[in-house]
Amino acid sequence: MHSPSHLHTQNRYTGFTLVELLVVIAIIAVLAALTFSVINRAILKGQQASCLNLMRNVEVGMESYLIEHNRPPLPREKIQGGHDTLFGDSGGKYSTAPIVAVLAGGEAMTWVEDTGDESDISYLNPNGVQYLELTLANKGEAGLREDGKIYDPWARELMIGVNARLNGDPLTTYGLAEWQEIKPRDQDFVMWSYGADGVKGKGESESFSGSDDVKSF
């Protein structure tokens, strides 16, 4: 027969101590944080791959147009003046809609200047040839939206720089597609996105390496 004191000693150790519970909670928190970080990295990698795939599709359309017309899909005034043109920059003049209309052979090919003046640019693709094929993208996906513009996976317009000259002259992107270690040279066009954070480079520096930015060159 056990004495009361012996029974009391046994009952004292049937549960977890506060320290043990805190250790378990801390371990769970660390594992959750690691899992969350891994999931976020996987999501970012998937978004970057989606953005690159979109760039490749647009690149095919641009290359096809250049081969057939031997000129960039820009209004004649831009070509005559040698004005390299940027599309999709949130602080810039032009959306991606006109270039999409030209490459996709849209019915309404209209160029809108920052002054509000509109001009018909159907002469850039008079036969309505479809050089670019894009299906409508869902929210959170890279691709064409119902407004006729091209968006990256982070709901910002894909930025496209088009060289007005096809004679090997350097393409000017006014610093927007220029990182510390790389920038466009004599490409006919380039595409880029500032990634999930919307900031060029790593934030503390404009280095492409290690950033979440995506580029086509």
Task: Encode pLDDT of 51-87 as tens digits.
Answer: 999 999 999 999 999 999 999 999 999 999 999 999 9
Question: Is residue 144 within 8 Å of 138, Cβ to Cβ?
Answer: no
Q: Say whether pLDDT at 140 is over 60.
A: yes
- Tell me what pLDDT residue 63 has: 97
pTM confidence score = 0.83
Judged against a pLDDT cut of 60, whether residue 119 lies above it is answered with yes
Distances from the Cα of 81 to the Cα of 7, 84, 127, 136, angstroms: 97, 9, 26, 34
Query: With 0-12 CB in 10 A as exposed, 13-18 as middle and 19+ as buried, what is 15?
Result: exposed
Taking 80 as the threshold, does the pLDDT of residue 188 lie above it? yes
